Amino acid sequence: MKSNQETKFKNTFEEEVYEGLTAFPKYLSSKYFYDKKGDKLFQKIMALPEYYLTECERTIIEENKADISNLFSGDAGFDLVELGAGDGKKTKILLQELIETKRNFTYKPIDISQNVLDELEEDVLNRWPSINIETEQGTYFNILKKLSEQQKDRKMVIVVLGSNIGNLPHKYAVEFLTTIRKSMQPEDLLFMGFDQKKDPQVILNAYNDSQGVTEEFNKNLLSRINEEMNANFDLQKFNHWPVYDPENGTTKSYLVSTEDQTVTLQNLDLDIHFSAWESIHTEISQKYDDVIVNWLAQEAGLVVEKQYSDPKNYFTDYIFRI
Ligand code: AVI
């Protein structure tokens, strides 16, 4: 392996790839799954029968939309701030209910991708031309910081769907919840989805689908490195390998080198050697139960006010207060 102390990184992606691939054991961050192709693959994953999370949360929202809308609504109206809105599929069930019951609210979807926000805004305005919608592009952290600095004159409800928190180890999940808590006032609410511990086989199937979409999603990290760093990863020479530990509820996804090989990342002036069966850890997808969620909430200064689960208890949406 070439050592390259002098490398000047073009961006944090390059820097983190350098750090992760020169570490032992090797790792890469799952946040880099999501380029244009990764966004599309994730949409495909959400529609897979094995990826039960989406359908479970849709059922929860559908079955409890009246109750949830009542809890969300405030005397002077409210702002519905959605972090990581994506295509807003599940949120639209709630929007429909809020509009039908004539609630006074502004929908504020936030996403890292302006593209995603433009499409969402167009669709929402087509469906409900009189809705108040204010999109905002940015990272969770920046937006939450901004929210905590703003003078707020009415109730705010923050929504984070899809168990996105599960991609953070507990330490960072507490940090994330703490940042959210700092932006909240006493009447504000946080509505957040947490995928639950369940039959390990059901979980493994969700991360190892029969059509190979999750494999392509995982390997998209290597494709991105090939394209953006002029590298020569041979995707055929890596196996997609998710594992689930029922003791701590952590799903970990790996890419495993099927042979002894060396990969060159030209833009980083870097050769990386892989022994046969050496791994790159690429993602965690944490699974929870009430004890863990209450512990995370307590660490972050939040309290669980209410919770909703699907009939199989695969997924739970919790409502938190400060
Ligand atoms: C976005 N996140 C909650 C998904 C998950 O379940 O961890 C990402 C994903 N990774 C593989 N399949 C889906």
**Residue 112: helix, strand or coil by DSSP?**
coil
Ligand 1: which residue has its CA nearest to atom 2? 164
Pairwise CA distance, residues 58 & 79, whole Å:
21
Q: Which two tokens stand for residue 303?
A: 């309290």
* Tens digits of pLDDT across the chain (322 residues): 444 455 589 999 999 999 999 999 999 999 999 888 998 999 999 999 999 999 999 999 999 999 999 999 988 999 999 998 777 889 999 999 999 999 999 999 998 888 889 999 999 999 999 999 999 998 888 888 888 887 778 999 999 999 999 999 999 999 999 999 999 999 999 999 999 999 999 999 999 999 999 999 999 999 999 999 999 999 999 999 999 999 999 999 999 999 999 999 999 999 999 999 999 999 999 999 999 999 999 999 999 999 999 999 999 999 999 9
Distance CA 113, CA 21 (A): 27
| Count of positions (residues) in the chain | 322
In whole angstroms, what is the distance from residue 113 CA to residue 228 CA? Answer: 18
Phi, psi of 286 (to 5 degrees): -70, 140
The pair of structure tokens assigned to 293 is 């969620």
Burial of 306 (0-12, 13-18, 19+ CB in 10 A): middle
Residue 285: CB within 6 Å of ligand 1?
A: yes
The answer, yes or no, to whether any atom of ligand 1 lies below 6 A from the CB of 56, is no
Q: Report the nearest-CA residue for atom 6 of ligand 1.
A: 285
> Measured from the CB, is residue 267 less than 6 Å from ligand 1?
no
Give the distance (Å) from ligand 1 centre to CA of residue 64: 24
Q: Are 100 and 106 in contact (CB under 8 A)?
A: no
CB of 214 closer than 6 angstroms to any ligand 1 atom: yes
Structure tokens at 181: 């808590």
Task: Answer yes or no: is the C-beta of 194 below 6 A from any ligand 1 atom.
Answer: no
Q: What is the pLDDT of residue 6?
A: 56
Tell whether ligand 1 has an atom less than 6 A from the beta carbon of residue 163.
yes
State the closest ligand 1 atom to the C-alpha of 195, by its place in the atom list counted from 1: 6
Residue listed under structure tokens 């009246």: 66
Q: For residues 274 and 254, is the Cβ–Cβ distance under 8 A?
A: no
Amino acid at 272: I
Q: Which atom of ligand 1 is nearest to the CA of 42?
A: 13
DSSP state of 167: G
Q: Are 272 and 255 in contact (CB under 8 A)?
A: no
The count of other CB atoms within 10 Å of the CB of residue 304 is 17
> Which atom of ligand 1 is least distant from the CA of 285?
7
Does the CB atom of residue 174 touch ligand 1 within 6 A?
Answer: no
Number of H helices, E strands in the chain: 10, 14
Query: Would you say the CB of residue 162 lies under 6 angstroms from ligand 1?
Result: yes
Task: Give the model's pLDDT for residue 124.
Answer: 97
Instruction: Check pocket membership of 164 for ligand 1, CB cut-off 6 A.
Output: yes
Q: Put residue 213 in one of left, alpha, beta given phi > 0 → left and psi -120 to 50 → alpha.
A: alpha
250 lines ligand 1 (CB under 6 A): no
Half-sphere exposure of 86 (CA within 13 A, CB side): 20
* 152 CA from centroid of ligand 1 (Å): 33
Give the H/E segment covering residue 60. helix 52-72
What is the distance in angstroms between the CA of the first residue and the CA of the last residue of the chain? 50
Ligand 1 midpoint to CA 285 (Å): 6
User: CA-to-CA distance for 34 and 131, rounded, in angstroms?
Assistant: 29
Distance, in Å, from the CA atom of 176 to the CA atom of 171, rounded to the nearest integer, reads: 9
The residue type of 232 is N
Which helix H or strand E contains 160, and what residues bound it?
strand 155-160
Residue 40 Cα to ligand 1 midpoint, Å, equals: 13
State the burial class of residue 225 (Cβ atoms within 10 Å of its Cβ: 0-12, 13-18, 19+): buried
207 C-beta closer than 6 A to ligand 1: yes
135 lines ligand 1 (CB under 6 A): no
- Indicate if ipTM > 0.85: yes
Q: Is the distance from CB of 41 to CB of 220 less than 8 angstroms?
A: yes
